[in-house]
Structure 1
């Protein structure tokens, strides 16, 4: 049973010089490590300049979520491939040379798999996922596969400098409604103590089976689906070299404004 978070914060210089070194002791990262680019508080404050390439990101995981340089779309990584869901609704595979200002990835290893019965909305799904969280001090990565009755997602258009804070940027979001669509929800659950590092609780993105539709999940319903969960007790973060021009006064309110 995993019981303790192992935390490492890497500077960008360390990552560049040591070519993705695992930690300060030089050992390789455990597969049970969540690797994160920057912090949610930095993103909320308008820090959208990408600084880590997806080629580098893929060295630390094969599944995850995030965003793109200048906030140009929603990021879904699955099977070590990064997809960009643009504000037009189009989905394209990201180049290894493209960059991200914020992302969280890991190597996905099933710790538990369960069949899910009908869920009328996202709140019901989250209640079902709660049952798989055995230790609230750990991170959990989820993959939910199925044919969904309804899916509601969003994506935000590319931003121009001077960047607005994220709660302003999402006011321009495009919302997509899909019905009877087969695909995968890729999601992250973070402990409450994570604060401004990431979003406490659930953060889920969607990608269709044919990789043509997706986005940040706003709501979902289904008759049945299968969920796989990966509990993760390691955490490594590389910090952005850029200081955002904006500021966040009420972290919880800002997170609510951009997540829901």
Structure 2
């Protein structure tokens, strides 16, 4: 099993090409293999209101086939599954997006099912996380999850597209739309990040949901089910594409702001 964390902060896209960086996209692609999480920008940047997309989904698919994120102008919740990208809008509409659309924040990987476990009698999200905790053998690594099943209840949310000047994320979530689904077959996709990556990504769990028929989904707030199957991919590599854009806002209290936007 993997036992060493490799953090590589790589500016794949820049506001302008620096000397010696003309092959950065090709070099990055050669490095991003299995057991590597590829991330677009930082959660700090997103919290501060940096919603301008700069990485296309066509490019993102080169680096992974499973992941979560958002869209240009924060237009909905993103689920990448089976190498397809879906947008869950605040209206509840689910769209498969084309490769030319862009993201200001996302995290994806080439999903490799290193462990599989059957889950049963999960009453809520807290109980689900407690079961998944048993699969986290090394708290210095990233873990990507996919959970397939028929869910008794799903509580999810999405947020509307924003206009400039962009508000910070804690203001945006005040406009969130919450969806409640019952007896729906689908997949929970997400990741667990180590505590020390605070500011880079969300420490702990972060999940999105999409139904099997791709008509329902969102950022996961709660879930319950009788039976489901969880697949996990421990990931010890990390590559980041830094945003060329400057947020207009700022993060004043990371922990409290993360709590506000994740719940």
TM-score (normalizing by structure 1):
0.96
Distance 1:35 1:93 in 2: 21
Deviation string 1:208-256 (CA, Å, 9 cap, x unpaired) is 0000000000000001110000000000001100110101110000000
Preserved contact between residue 20 and residue 56 of structure 1 (Cα < 8 Å): no
Q: 2:113 aligns with which of 91, 110, 131?
A: 110
User: Following superposition, which runs of at least 4 residues in structure 1 exceed 6 angstroms of deviation?
Assistant: none
Aligned to 1:251: 254
**Is 1:78 matched with 2:81?**
yes
Q: 1:20 aligns with which of 17, 25, 31?
A: 25
The alpha-carbon deviation at position 9 of structure 1 amounts to 1.8
Give the number of equivalent residue pairs. 258
Q: 2:62 aligns with which of 52, 59, 62?
A: 59
Aligned to 1:230: 233
SS of the residue 2:218 aligns to: strand
Aligned to 1:128: 131
TM-score (normalizing by structure 2):
0.95
Preserved contact between residue 45 and residue 166 of structure 1 (Cα < 8 Å): yes
SS of the residue 1:83 aligns to: strand
Distance 2:189 2:46 in 1: 20
Preserved contact between residue 48 and residue 71 of structure 1 (Cα < 8 Å): yes
Preserved contact between residue 63 and residue 110 of structure 2 (Cα < 8 Å): yes
The alpha-carbon deviation at position 195 of structure 1 amounts to 1.3
Aligned to 1:30: 33
The alpha-carbon deviation at position 27 of structure 1 amounts to 4.1
Aligned to 1:9: 9
The alpha-carbon deviation at position 92 of structure 1 amounts to 0.2
Preserved contact between residue 32 and residue 38 of structure 2 (Cα < 8 Å): no
SS of the residue 1:221 aligns to: strand
**Is 1:178 matched with 2:181?**
yes
Alignment of structure 1 residues 192-203 onto 2, 5 Å: 192-203=195-206
Q: Mind listing any 5+ residue stretches in structure 1 that lack a counterpart?
A: none
The alpha-carbon deviation at position 35 of structure 1 amounts to 0.1
Distance 1:208 1:186 in 2: 11
Distance 1:54 1:63 in 2: 12
Distance 2:175 2:4 in 1: 40
Preserved contact between residue 205 and residue 217 of structure 1 (Cα < 8 Å): yes
Distance 1:227 1:27 in 2: 29
Distance 1:233 1:120 in 2: 31
